[in-house]
Chains A and B, each alone.
Chain A
Amino acid sequence: MGILERFGERTIAFLEYLGGMTALIGESVRSLVHAQIRYAETFLQAYELGIGSLLIVLLTSLFTGMVISLESAQQAVQFGIGSLVGGAVTYTSVRELGPMLTAVVVAGRVGSAIAAEIGSMVVTEQIDALRSMGLSPVRFLVVPRLLALAIMLPLLTVFADIISILGGMWIAQAYAHINPASFISSARQAVGFEDVVKGLLKALIFACIIAFVGCYQGLSTRGGAAGVGRATTSAVVISIILIFGTNFVMSYLLFGGH
């Protein structure tokens, strides 16, 4: 196959992906606008996807906060600005690492689970069965997962921010003898309520990315068990790339040069 042919094939595949994803988003929005929501399923998904991810998110955030504090405290103490460590840890956690790392962890755990579950339903004809019964797989499967993630990811991000700051504060005190009052004072000066809201807005967008990519990869599964494996891997890879890219764009738009 020639280079031109391969390029053409990839372009068509990309456009098909874009078209399919747009249709999925459109139908999901239509279901939400018409309030076609399965509340019990949404609650169940929120519990399974959100609460199930809490421990891993807390652990990741705790160690991240600790390592930021360790690195910044070392430098700050050397230059006599140890009182700024609280600001550095909080600023980084709330605006960038909190939302992004939580999203990456959830993409790995939940995005893959969504793709695998829906992909298995495709290969065992359960999705065809839903359509055959006149039920929309989008309303039945995608909307509850989208809503569950849209509620739970910002909540998880709040917990991630708090535990990251607490971990940072602990290391700052233990390693650089920066007292907690000084740490908190610095944190309050560095970060405002607006920063927290913008961080949570990021989390909301990341939730949509994880839900839509996971569901789309699952729904477009082809080729049995191997296909489910491919869908799962693709869901994680695509979600993470999109999360990083979107994080940059959103940071630029929300925080600009500030």
Chain B
Amino acid sequence: MEPTIYASLDDVTLSFGEHVILKNCSLKIVRGAITCIVGLSGAGKSTILRLLDGLIEPSSGHVYVDGHDLCHTPERDLVELRQKTSLAFQFAALLDSLTIGENVGLPLREHTALPDEKIRHIVDDALESVGLRHIYDSLPNELSGGMLKRAGFARAIVTRPELVLYDEPTTGLDPIVTNLITDTIVRLREKLGGTAVVISHDLHSIFRMADYVAMLFEGAIIAYGPREEIRTSTNPFVQQFLTGSEVGPIPV
């Protein structure tokens, strides 16, 4: 059966002044799959997540999420569309002034009329699914990097969004926490049954969790396909990236 597309970038160009971030970039995100985007640092991978979340608008082209074109949509209307999408930030971006429980429960408090006890129950459930039930009353500055990231995941999934965007979830973490987080992403996708896009440099993690892999180079997707297809790709750019070689078409 042909996979259905949940979100896509259609011929997107994004530039700030003379600095071009993305150039005629097109990408399809398959519904129900984990798509990993790889590429050099500063290639514009995180920008793709921000485009998919409607936080920035492309200079030209279109961004579709669940059939809606996010471009030129007023911020007021984006609020409703963002209920379907969630972004787990690289450094969690939890609000300093709120406890972890309050941070995770914030979207529910603001967007639903659920009673406090019910919200507490959902938040506990979300924290438990990332292995952090015991930190409800802790403040963000009391947690380690790995715990912060997982708390960020809990906030991202608490509303059970259809699309979860993970921005470098394993960067800067030790191998054990990296494995834990990779497993968490796979488990959350299975539990929620939604679609996920993951930005990462960690090849081991990527090939453990990805259904599809896309490689971004110089503002455009130069390779895209199922995980095994990319792993065995003969594309010299992909090969150089996967082997980490200094020799090849990617300038060092």
Binding site for B on A (CB under 8 A): 120-121, 124-126, 128-136
Contacts and interface: CB of A to CB of B under 8 A. Distances in A.
Contacts of B91: 124-125
B82 A126 contact: no
Nearest to B83: A134
A132 B55 contact: yes
Interface in B103-157: 106-107, 110-111, 155
Contacts of B83: 134
Q: What is the predominant secondary structure among interface residues of chain A facing chain B?
A: helix
A163 B84 CA distance: 56
B174 interface: no
Interface in B77-99: 78-80, 82-83, 85-87, 89-91, 93-96
B82 A133 contact: yes
17 contacts: A124-B93, A126-B93, A126-B96, A128-B87, A128-B93, A129-B87, A129-B94, A130-B95, A132-B85, A132-B87, A132-B89, A133-B86, A133-B107, A133-B110, A134-B79, A134-B80, A135-B110
Interface residues of B, number: 24
B76 to A, nearest CB: 9
B57 interface: no
A135 B82 CA distance: 10
Given A124-B93, A126-B93, A132 B53 contact: yes
Contacts of B85: 132
B95 A134 contact: no
A134 B111 contact: yes
B110 to A, nearest CB: 6
A132 B70 CA distance: 13
Contacts of B87: 128-129, 132
Nearest to A30: B76
Contacts of A125: 89-91, 93
Contacts of A136: 75, 79
Residue among B53, B83, B86, B95 with the highest chain A CB neighbour number at 10 A: B95
A129 B82 contact: no
Instruction: List the 4 shortest-distance A-B pairs measured between CB atoms, nearest first.
Output: A129-B93, A125-B93, A134-B79, A134-B82
Residue among A125, A130, A136 with the highest chain B CB neighbour number at 10 A: A125
B149 to A, nearest CB: 13
Contacts of B89: 125, 128-129, 132
Nearest to A125: B93
Contacts of B86: 132-133
B106 A135 contact: yes
A130 B94 CA distance: 9
A125 B152 CA distance: 12
A128 B89 CA distance: 9
Given A129-B87, A132-B89, 16 more contacts: A121-B96, A125-B90, A125-B91, A126-B93, A126-B96, A129-B94, A129-B95, A130-B95, A132-B55, A132-B82, A132-B85, A133-B82, A134-B78, A134-B80, A135-B107, A136-B79
A35 B146 CA distance: 39
Nearest to A38: B110
A141 to B, nearest CB: 10
B160 to A, nearest CB: 14
Contacts of B95: 121, 126, 129-130
Contacts of B111: 134
A24 to B, nearest CB: 13
Nearest to B53: A132
Nearest to A127: B93
A121 B155 CA distance: 17
Contacts of B155: 133
Nearest to A27: B75
Contacts of A130: 95
Contacts of B93: 124-126, 128-129
Contact of A131 (B55, B80, B90, B96): B55
Given A125-B91, A126-B93, A128-B89, A134 B55 contact: no
Contacts of A129: 87, 89, 93-95
A60 B93 CA distance: 39
